[in-house]
Structure 1
Amino acid sequence: MRALIVTAVPPERDAVLAGLAACGSDFGRGPDPDSGPGSGEGRPTVLAAGVGPAAAAAATAAELTSAALAGRPYALVVSAGIGGGFAPVQPPDLVVASTIVAADLGADTPDGFRSVAALGFGTDTVHVPGDLARAVADRLRAVLGPVLTVSTVTGTAARAAELAARHPGAVAEAMEGFGVAQAAAASGVPVLEVRAVSNPVGPRDRAAWRIPDALDALAGAFGKIAPVIEGWTRHG
């Protein structure tokens, strides 16, 4: 069985594909990114799904459904890309999600933000397989912790402090993980999130962005963890 790796934009997809190709295994030699479901048993599909949780969820759900109907279901979904890091995480560190959290899905109230879970309307957290997350983090020497999904990227110190206070131990924020995770959960498929940090969470300081370095780190990460993911998809 295969892994489905979902990124937001083509540069992230291409970094993941480069890392997989560099690892030298059959697993790493995945299909062309525009070819749809992987062409061989055990080979991953890597998608650029679009920016934000809605686009990520839609593309992930469509691919999972298509693969299941074709009799080639996925064993694992991975949300991957670059993102912002909460201190002390710094660019271009790697992070692995222990949980995937919808950080701004809920309501503002006079008493502060209330999550969708607190409101009784659903869940705001998707759990990942703990053994897999730890194995991937160990392989990468990455920081393991909650990764937040936001629909609006944080741009102020006040917002960064608020998120950090509401989600102790959060290591990063990005825009797609929870959408990918919800689609995976609906199909009964385990999910993982791996991010390379391109900037600190907080004021938007373009001079501090290290996007090329983060993409290089993302490529290197998938070259290293391909055997871990391959083992999970076969035996997890």
Structure 2
Amino acid sequence: MPHTLNAYQQAIGEPLPDWSPRALPARAPILGRYCRLEPLDPQRHADDLYAAYSQAPDDRDWTYLPVGPFASAADYRAHAERAAANSDFLHYAVIDLKTERAVGTLALMRMDPANGVIEVGFVVFSPLLQRTPISTEAQYLLMHYVFDTLGYRRFEWKCDNLNAPSLRAAERLGFRFEGIFLQATVYKGRNRDTAWFSIIDSEWPALRAGFAQWLAPENFDAQGQQRRSLAQIRTEL
């Protein structure tokens, strides 16, 4: 990373004379081409979400989360009510614009506006959302909001280092792997070594251009299959 020297010839970080603390995310919808992100509202979203999650053949999507699985719609609604009331998180319901139904959730968390750092987490995408353009666009919409609207410097992704699907998703979305924090937390009665990833503001313009090309309607055939992958598009930029 760039650095400069102080009066003692010690290396120090580059000055940020124009930096000021950023705003916290607003509790407002974020609209995309394929989906809309809405702050989680249990009364409006919980039933759709539980129905969407119930499409899964088993409970493996909850293995690496500190909550779930849920035995009933009432149990899930109780979780959604706790999540929506937690001021340390801003949980969003992902709304499929074709059906106007909630098909998954994700959250902004560990918000540090003084330093311009924020994390995306609690990603729970149902089978109705997984491996669709919506799943990528939902992540892109949060990145775009954090970097381009709020002006944050750093966007983080963290997961259990044994969570192979999450590791692959972070890499596909353009996050940079930064290392593993050993024995970082305990959840569901077991150890978690946490893998850290980030995107910083200087990396965002190139990633944004790649997302724009991948999400364009012409990148999908009549069956909705991608013509070019995100990785391929980025190598061509």
Q: TM-score range by the shorter chain?
A: under 0.3
Higher strand share: 2
TM-score by length of 2: 0.25
TM-score by length of 1: 0.25
Higher helix share: 1
Bigger relative contact order (CA 8 A; separation at least 6): 1
Q: Which has the larger radius of gyration?
A: 2
